Amino acid sequence: MTTTEKQPALIGQRIAKVDGLERVTGQAAYGADIHLSGMLHGKLLHSPHAHAVIKGIDTAAALKLPGVMAIITAADFPELTQEAAISGSSEYSIGAANLRRLWMAHEKALFSGHPVAAVAATDPYIAEQALALIKVDYDVLPWVKDIDDAIQPSATLIHEDLFTHTLGELPKKASNVAQHVEIGNGDIEAAFRDSDVVIENEYRTQRVHQGYIEPQASTAQVDPSGHVTVWTTIQGVHWARFDLASILNIPLGKLRVVPMEIGGAFGGKVYPTLEALCILLSKKSGRPVKMVLSREEVLRMTGPTSGSIVKIKTGCKKDGTLTAFDAKIWMDSGAFPGSPVAGATLAGFSVYQFKAFHIDGYDVLTNKVRVQAYRGPGAPQACFAMEQQIDLMAAKIGMNPLAMRIKNISKEGDPMTHGRPHVKIGFTEVLERVKAHPAWTSPINGPWRGRGMACGMWMGGTGNSSAHLTVNGDGSVSVVVGSVDLTGTRTSLAQIAADEFRIPLEKVLVTVGDTDQTGYTDTSGGSRITYSMGTAVHRACVEAVEKLKGVVAAQLKVPVADITYQNGIFKASNGQSLTFEQAARTSMRRGDGPVTAVGAVRRLKHAPTFGAHVADVEVDPETGKVTLLNYTIFQDVGRAVNPTQVEGQMQGGAAQGIGWALFEDYVYDEKGNIRNASLLDYRMPTALDLPMIGAEIIEVPAGDGPFGVRGCGEVPIVPPIATIANAIANATGVRIKETPFTPERVFWALRKAGKA
Amino acid sequence: MTTTEKQPALIGQRIAKVDGLERVTGQAAYGADIHLSGMLHGKLLHSPHAHAVIKGIDTAAALKLPGVMAIITAADFPELTQEAAISGSSEYSIGAANLRRLWMAHEKALFSGHPVAAVAATDPYIAEQALALIKVDYDVLPWVKDIDDAIQPSATLIHEDLFTHTLGELPKKASNVAQHVEIGNGDIEAAFRDSDVVIENEYRTQRVHQGYIEPQASTAQVDPSGHVTVWTTIQGVHWARFDLASILNIPLGKLRVVPMEIGGAFGGKVYPTLEALCILLSKKSGRPVKMVLSREEVLRMTGPTSGSIVKIKTGCKKDGTLTAFDAKIWMDSGAFPGSPVAGATLAGFSVYQFKAFHIDGYDVLTNKVRVQAYRGPGAPQACFAMEQQIDLMAAKIGMNPLAMRIKNISKEGDPMTHGRPHVKIGFTEVLERVKAHPAWTSPINGPWRGRGMACGMWMGGTGNSSAHLTVNGDGSVSVVVGSVDLTGTRTSLAQIAADEFRIPLEKVLVTVGDTDQTGYTDTSGGSRITYSMGTAVHRACVEAVEKLKGVVAAQLKVPVADITYQNGIFKASNGQSLTFEQAARTSMRRGDGPVTAVGAVRRLKHAPTFGAHVADVEVDPETGKVTLLNYTIFQDVGRAVNPTQVEGQMQGGAAQGIGWALFEDYVYDEKGNIRNASLLDYRMPTALDLPMIGAEIIEVPAGDGPFGVRGCGEVPIVPPIATIANAIANATGVRIKETPFTPERVFWALRKAGKA
């Protein structure tokens, strides 16, 4: 794989983001920064009801408003082709038919905020005015509020045609449960009988939003010839093209999806939201159409992650050996299928080894906005439950909770919940680092203070990646990738290329290409880009070096096999040599043509990451307020290509996990409307809420991919809820089993326990 | 090279342009069709003098005009680095220092229309107003009007530091002659002595403009971080990047040149015109800046092709055998070096075989706008002279002029003027076709009517080309090329790819990429794209088929070597098979990753083309007006990938040659200002001036490249002047030796000969 025997020079360096200046100076063009000639502005009409039949939509008055150029409703969607219906969508579970109904309510509005119509007008204010003139005739239905409601046998059905998807079973009646996953191993009854301690509890989490800074924004232009161009802020242009093409019945070659810069996503911009509506409005109006969501709309109609209920029973022996667990997980997926319950059963429960286990997972629908992915989807909810149980059992047998974890941790070759073995992982190294670190060993004094820890894992994404590169005549290299840059991957990919060529970083230009210009590439998500796209870029570099050897051989008039490349120098055995820059210059006139190369990656082995978090909290018994005193993350990242960026990922993920644990929540009124759809009322953590978060990087190289990197962006969000819950329990003696741990909830829990 | 033994299915088909609909509906975005946020509009201040020292420029008043955001003059150009000065420019002869002085007058204004300052303002009208407020202090110098003036020993020097470039000689004093080319072979004196007929004449041509529809238009944006993006209408983005980067001292990786659609070029948009000025204005103003030339500016400041003087003496034997020629060619290159005199000495004089020859060529400077390339540069002027001489000698010995040509034509292996042998060419086949064709054999009756013929050749361009492609999951293929589409090459390249894959044409999407996204590619010119880029695309297709074989092998669980590809089907020897579309679909989950491939071409063998034109004219002796009755082109195109497009090239080139012969001219006043800088006064031919032009395609496959194609766009402009001159001579008995053959010139020639 590696062309030279060298020490990586740029890998591991703290490089400032190569596109940092454009971003901080406002030059980078985000979704809303596009202006096309004759462009119209689109606005959405939302359902004010959580559940209602749409009996009719009257757009006549709105269409008469001067400046209104087109109005669309579900009726403007083409019939779904059978192929699209079968091939589904880019998303693992929602499917094309549901995605279409999510973009715009068809027969029923399924959540408050569900788009029912869209207007394109010459300016956004006219479009807004027009919305008020559209008359929708609703037949309001009872709404399904939460998991408890949804799974009642008498529950109102959200979809009349939804049958639970279960392996090997064919349900007889429709329900609100979209999927039932059941996995297990070993004789669970015997294992519990054999336990010295058995503890059973129920844990609940709320739904939380990814909280990206940039609202969704898309622009579409449909040419008279049928060519469609979409400029959008989305995590993956190729997935978007696939979804839009199949649902709107456009040939792939006639649909170009151009990625704009993206202001945060965290899983919340995996699938298209506005793109199809912009396309239909552009088609109807004959003009380009831009739509930009407001913050209120982001919170009302784009997916948060699932709220959950986990009922779990765990057992252990007196010596700390884990014996068995039996878990039931319900995840609230909102109005369409797609909660991360399957992910939860794997990543959430494969951290420790039990003799036997059993998990039932349920994907449950409610009349709320449909969930989306959010960093390590499903794992934080499962981690919360499991890590409370570990602490509870450790306390019961009087064992140090870290020692109990170390004793039971999964190692290479141990089975995961789905039965396949763990690959090479750095779990042990992480916990050994914790054991010796002051964050864990330093004393914690004072009343109402406590320290907690928790562990989590994430499988790491792999998937398809395509890159191509050109060696320019001045020795610079242009790299074009099919993946959107969410997290600074232009920088890490530039480091990988510059390192492989051994040329200065500023000689490498990484461009994010559009769907016409790049090979198929899966979406940027699941911590896969540095790992998978990094491998694709690396492969293209290796191919380019081979081609440059041909150029150098032609120039030096020696056989190609005689040329070696090391530390930026092409050498012939007779001692003649050319630098990379000289070879690049020479490539303009010698050899088989300009040097270009491609790199493609199908599916690498998973390179899982493991993290342990330690937090110190202080609880105010008079108000219930939890203050974070210290927070430290320990994480195996395989190899930190850019430690500054890796730390940023770790700290950012933890900050979001802390918001989930302590502050954020969706507050609904009795009719299913969100009452806090603004950043003033939806309480995300700010810098004032957080201590400086310590980030300890552990490097246990992964077996596949260049340099042993592991994706590092997901796992930091997994342990925070569990870590803080354990810390609160240690500070107060009271264990709180439902998030968020707001002052109100903590206060009443203390009061109930007689402590406040 | 070819992956399957198949009959080409799409090669040779009359496919409508794949991007025709976008173009005719106005959706295609040309140079002026770009609108950026905060964009300024630039306008140029031109020198009103043909030759003047610039003593000072006062911009103070202009800068005070509200809305004026920046003004630049030559002082805003960075110092030329030594490397740039040495490495020159993308153009073969002008060099970086001259290109810079051409873009904006430095010490002296060298032609009327030479830009001396540029203004960027919030709208184009304010910019225009500001121009009037700029005060330039000129010291007017005598101007060098034409070749006769320029080569006088006492001539005013245009450049004080211009020394004639001659092989092996070092001139002692500066002059207006930039280059002297001298080539020859054989004992010319002996050959003339041995001749039965020797004829000597002088022929003159005027300068003519390419007459593209779209004026030059460029937009530049300089980010605070120094990244520069230029959107422009130019024949080659990589050459433009090289010139702009080296002259403005920008690293290649920080300069992105994005090709807009181009509305004609014909050689006239090879090098940048406005791009550098837009960049400097954007840098100074901090805003994007767009400049669009007016038609008047196009004629005043963008390069036409050279006017010429050819003195030629030719000899032959009584049996028609050509013996010797001695030619002197002066070409007027305008204010900077760069006339196509070298090309003229090769393509203009390698059509026939002489026992001995001698050519002196001179590149002569005058105070007129500097010339640019124009279809087959240099060859039409030489062809005019040579083909008159052939007809004159044929008449003298009483031989049929076609028979005389056939007798002396160059064949494979015969030397060209530069001594290297002709490769496989279709000259003989073309003339055999003429001989049998009614255009030549049909009677031509009536007074003042005559038929003429002439032959011409063009070497055909080769150069560097880069393409990459992606096989999409629906069986479509996205091809990205580094070459601008001037002439319908998206269509011919799509045909080549679709044919190679044996998939429907609509499954192939060809995109013209920008400099960040494509490998190095030489400019679109010299009839090189279908030949050279066609080969690059073909190579990428071959590579993709090999990769798809790997996918199919993985799917069918057989060794790769077991898979063959034929007629769109991948087959294993056990009889299992997958269609291309199935293989593409399978490639999304099997094999080594998404299927992408690159194709690069360095320098193929030349694939010369040869054409013979036959015209019938009628001359009105009372007005001197020449009416074209019939016009037929016979041309060897190697292989016509798309006969409709090939015919369009042939007819378009001939139409331009006819305009050159009969109508177009630059009219200067006594101070060197163009008097007819509008399309009303600069008389290009319209449909009313032309008969339907017959296009006879002859296919003698070229030895290199896919399918035997030869570039076909240049040679059609070579014979028209000579053809029409021969026809006029045959119609009137008077031979006119200076173009254009306007009524006035023809009338006076007839009058002088006593015929009118």
* DSSP labels, B47-71: -SSSSEEEEEEE-HHHHHSTTEEEE
Record the tokens describing residue B148, joined without a space. Answer: 């006769």
Q: Between B22, B225, B516, which is nearest A478 by CB?
A: B516
The string of pLDDT tens digits covering residues B230-268 is 999 999 999 999 999 999 999 998 999 999 999 999 999
Asked whether the beta carbons of residue A224 and residue B25 sit closer than 8 angstroms, the reply is yes
Cβ B517–A513 below 8 Å, yes or no?
yes
Residue A94 CB coordination number (10 Å): 23
Cβ distance B225 to A473 less than 8 Å, yes or no, reads no
Residue in A179, A110, A196, A504 with CA at minimum distance from that of residue A339: A179
Contact: B597, A598; criterion CB under 8 Å: yes
Q: Could you tell me if A507 and A549 are in contact, meaning their C-beta atoms sit under 8 angstroms apart?
A: no
CATH number listed for the domain at residues A40-141+210-301: 3.30.365.10
CB within 8 Å: B600 and A596: yes
Task: Give B588 to chain A, closest Cα distance, Å.
Answer: 8
| Residue-level pLDDT at B700 | 96
Token pair for A274? 């506005």
Test A592 with B602 for CB contact under 8 angstroms: yes
What would the pLDDT profile of B369-423 be if each residue is shown by its tens digit? 999 999 999 999 999 999 999 999 999 999 999 999 999 999 999 999 999 999 9
CATH of domain B462-601: 3.30.365.10
Q: Give the chain A residue whose CA is nearest to the CA of B547.
A: A600
Identify the pLDDT of residue A705. 75
pLDDT for A93 equals 60
* DSSP state letter for B688: G
How close does chain A come to B555, measured CA to CA in Å? 14
CB B523, CB B532: distance < 8 Å? no
Taking CA B679 as the corner, what is the angle to CA B676 and CA B683, rounded to the nearest 5 degrees?
75
CB B233 within 8 Å of CB B273: no
Q: The domain at A20-28+462-601 falls in which architecture?
A: 2-Layer Sandwich (3.30)
Residues B732-741 have pLDDT tens digits of: 999 999 999 9
Contact flag B253-A37 (C-beta cutoff 8 Å): no
Helix-strand-coil percent breakdown of chain A, rounded to 5?
Answer: 30, 25, 45
What DSSP string describes A65-97?
STTEEEEE-GGGSPPPPHHHHHH--SSSSSHHH
Residues in chain B: 756
Closest A-chain CA to B508:
A253
Which residue intervals of A202-327 are DSSP H helices? 237-248, 275-285, 295-301
Residues whose CB falls within 8 Å of the CB of residue A233, separated by 6 or more in sequence, listed in order:
A30, A31, A214, A216, A217, A218, A259, A260, A261, A262, A263, A269
Contact A521 B594 (CB under 8 A): yes
Interface test mutation site (partner B, options A522, A602, A704, max chain B beta carbons within 10 A): A602
Find the distance separating the first CA and the last CA of chain B, reported in whole Å. Answer: 63
- A424 and A636 in contact (C-beta within 8 Å)? no
Which residues, 6+ apart, have CB-to-CB distance to A259 below 8 Å? A232, A233, A234, A237, A484, A512, A514
- Over chain B (756 residues), the average pLDDT of each successive run of 10 is 52 93 89 92 98 98 98 96 73 78 97 98 98 98 97 95 81 91 96 98 98 97 92 96 94 94 95 97 97 98 96 98 98 95 94 98 97 95 98 98 98 96 96 98 95 96 93 94 95 96 94 94 91 95 97 96 95 96 91 91 91 98 97 97 96 98 97 96 95 97 86 96 98 98 98 93
Q: Would you give the end-to-end CA distance of chain A in angstroms?
A: 63
Answer whether A517 sits within 8 Å of B511, measured CB to CB.
yes
CA atoms of B255 and B243, how far apart (whole Å): 11
A602 and B595 within 8 Å at the Cβ level: the answer is no
Which tens digit of pLDDT belongs to each residue from B351-362?
999 999 999 999
Query: In the structure encoding, which two tokens stand for residue B535, read together?
Result: 């080969």
Helix, strand, coil percent content, chain B, rounded in steps of 5 = 30, 25, 45
- Helix and strand tally (H, E) in chain A? 21, 27
Cα separation of B288 and B303, whole Å? Answer: 26
Regions of chain A where pLDDT drops below 70:
1-8, 87-93
Phi/psi region, residue A413 (left: phi>0; alpha: psi -120 to 50; beta: rest), is: left
Which of B466, B480, B594 faces A466 most closely, judged by CB atoms? B594
Distance CA B494, CA B559 (A): 31
Residues 6+ apart with CB under 8 A from A221: A36, A228, A229, A230, A282, A288, A289
Q: How many CB atoms lie within 10 A of CB B319?
A: 10
Instruction: Name the amino acid, one letter, at A423.
Output: V
Closest C-alpha to A733, from A714, A708, A752, A712: A752
Q: Do domains B423-460+606-756 and B462-601 have the same CATH topology?
A: yes
Chain B residues touching A589 at Cβ < 8 A: 602
What CATH number should be reported for the domain whose range is A423-460+606-756?
A: 3.30.365.10
| Residues of A whose CB is below 8 A from B515 | 478
The alpha carbons of chain A give a radius of gyration, in whole angstroms, of 27
Which chain A residues touch B601 with a CB distance below 8 Å?
A: 592-593
Q: Which residues are paired to A600 by β-bridges? A: A466
- Where in chain B are the domains? 423-460+606-756, 462-601
SS3 for A612-663 is EEEEEEEECCCCCCEEEEEEEEEEECCCCCCHHHHHHHHHHHHHHHHHHHHC
* Residues sharing a CB contact under 8 Å with residue B546, sequence separation 6 or more, in sequence order: B3
Cis peptide bond N-terminal to A740, omega within 30: yes
What token pair was written down for A570?
Answer: 């092409």
Q: CA torsion sign, B414 to B419 to B425 to B427?
A: negative
Q: How far is CA B527 from CA A459, B549, B646, in A?
A: 54, 34, 11
Query: Torsions phi, psi of A236, nearest 5?
Result: -150, 120
Which residue in chain B has the smallest CA separation from A245?
B474
The rounded distance, in Å, linking the Cα atoms of A566 and A327 is: 55
Tell me what pLDDT residue B644 has.
Answer: 96
Instruction: List CB contacts (< 8 A) between A548 and chain B.
Output: none
A121 C-beta neighbours (distance < 10 Å), count = 27
**Chain A residues close to B470, C-beta within 8 Å:** 466, 518-520
| Residues of A in Cβ contact (< 8 Å) with B476 | 251-253
Amino acid at A573: S
**Strand pairing category for B449-458 and B255-259:** unpaired
pTM here? 0.91
Write down the mean pLDDT value for chain B: 94
Query: Contact A468/B252, CB-based, under 8 Å?
Result: no
